[in-house]
Structure 1
Amino acid sequence: MPITGWKAKLYQFVEFVTMLAVLQMMWIGLTLLGLVFIGITPATVGLFMTIRKRLRGEDDLKTLAKSYWISYKDEFIASNKIGLVLIGIGYFLVINFRIVTTMGGLSGLFLLTVMIMIMVLYGLIVMNIFQVYAHYNLPFTRYFSTSVLLTLSFPLQGAGSIIGLFVLYRVFLIIPGLLPFFGISVTILFLSWMSSKIFQMKGELDGTLEVENGSV
């Protein structure tokens, strides 16, 4: 006899929470499998792809876990290329930020303001680029240009994502026991949900993006 009413909703909730916990454990395991440095980027990209499938209606945990592993293997090299570029840019920005903070006068204040704006933009691009990678099949350089375009085109959604991340940060700060089981999976779920709205609006505005990634 099928479960109905509140019992069905409770079952779906428990199943959903279990899925998030399992995917979080897989993210940790796959990150460690790549010795952290070369494992964290493909593990994160794979989780974005898997969460996206869940948001599109796929709810079988066994299938999602298998899909996660396949995405991790298939995107290992390509996603690490993006990760290395982001690390290089981030390192360059940090070095320049330290230099600018030592400067005085109006010119120093102006450069500091510019650097802060650039670093905020960089943070938003990092937040978007793996979602772009999970959604679309583009030439390597276009992942960066598309992330910049989406960040500048939808500032309200970017601000909403930042606010949401801050709320999640406060929740995990208050209940730190949730962090090892849901910290990454819930964060990526939230970002994927936010980005789905952006990609939908982007698709309605123009057709500049390529066909969706067939592996997603």
Structure 2
Amino acid sequence: MNGKEVVSALDMMFRWVTRLVCINILWIFFTFAGLLLLGIFPSTTAALGIIRRWLLGEQDFSIWRAYKEMYQKEFFQANIIGWTIAGIGAILYLNYQIILTSEQDFWFFVPFAFYVVLFFYALLLFWCLPLLVHYKTSWFHYLKNAIVLGLTNIHYTLLTGTFFFLVSYFSLEYPGIFPFFSASLLAAGWMWSSFQVFKKIDKI
């Protein structure tokens, strides 16, 4: 690698670091702009949308304006999908607590069935918002397609799960990175993984 290539690589690295810091700050700002509960899913959707534009090769656009427009445009749809998934997660958590605290002996298939349902829940969690960013359809089809794509592209589902785990782990171990990188790093890895599948579908 010659000097020019080194400079080019460093320039690209610093450019992405700057981008990720900007996205993370915007994610925090717009999450709280929606009073946290109503802001977290639209803000996450907007972060994924900006990452998608960069993956498509778009460069010359205002990050602030694009983020704000996507946040507003997908506000209701993102909240419907996000809180549907959150509601399912809450029900699963309650069932898990019942299984843990119950003195009744469950048959083997009860905890087995729970983990099967948990797996399908992970498919919804990992795929719904990237689908919302890339395709336009009804919220029901987002849920259905999330399961189909998650099952037929299990290696990317596992990769996304790995991103979730690593970002969560390092954010808890080193909380100082949260204001600058946690959400944006997750969005970048999450959208990149999903985008590999979307590219194949769009070519068909």
- TM-score, length-normalised on structure 2? 0.88
Q: Does 1:15 align with 2:15?
A: yes
Q: What's the offset of the Cα at 1:20? A: 0.6
Residues 76-109 of structure 1 deviation map (CA, whole Å, 9 limit, x = unaligned): 11211112212221222222222233264351x3
Write the letter of the residue equivalent to 2:40.
I
The residue matched to 2:37 in structure 1 has which SS?
coil
Query: Corresponding residue for 2:181?
Result: 182
Measured in 1, the distance between the counterparts of 2:27 and 2:139 equals 24
* Matches of 2:81 and 2:172, distance apart in 1: 30
Cα distance in 1, alignment partners of residues 134 and 48 from structure 2: 9
- Matched letter for residue 94 of structure 2: I
Classify the secondary structure of the residue corresponding to 1:36.
coil
Match of 1:157 in 2: 156
5+ residue gaps, structure 2:
none
CA distance in 2, matches of 1:170, 1:91: 22
Is the partner of 1:57 in helix, strand or coil? Answer: coil
Which residues of 2 match residues 109-148 of structure 1 at below 5 A?
Answer: 109-148=108-147
Identity of aligned residues (%): 25
Instruction: Identify the residue that residue 53 of structure 1 maps to in structure 2.
Output: 53
Aligned-pair CA distance for 1:169: 3.8
1:175 Cα deviation after fit: 4.1
Count of residues paired in the alignment:
201
d(CA) in 1 for partners of 2:174 and 2:98? 38
The 8 Å contact of residues 160 and 193 in structure 2, kept in 1 or not, is answered as: yes
Q: Partner amino acid for 1:50?
A: I
Which residue of structure 2 lines up, in the alignment, with residue 6 of structure 1? 6
Point out where structure 1 has 5 or more consecutive residues left out of the alignment. 207-216
Deviations 1:137-192 (A, max 9, x none): 01221011011111111112212222333333444455443222010101110011
Cα 1:45–1:191 shift into 2, 3 Å:
same
Q: Is the counterpart of residue 27 in structure 1 residue 19 in structure 2?
A: no
Match of 1:213 in 2: none
Shift of 1:123: 2.1
Question: 2:130·2:194 contact (CA, 8 Å) conserved in 1?
Answer: yes
Q: Distance in 2 between matches of 1:88 and 1:168?
A: 23
| Contact preservation (8 Å) 2:42, 2:78 | yes
CA RMSD of aligned residues (A): 2.1
Segment drifting more, 144-153 vs 192-201:
192-201
Distance in 2 (alpha carbons) for counterparts of 1:180 and 1:87: 23
Distance 1:39 1:169, change over 3 A: closer
TM-score (normalised: structure 1): 0.84
| Distance in 2 between residues matched to 1:195 and 1:159, nearest whole Å | 11
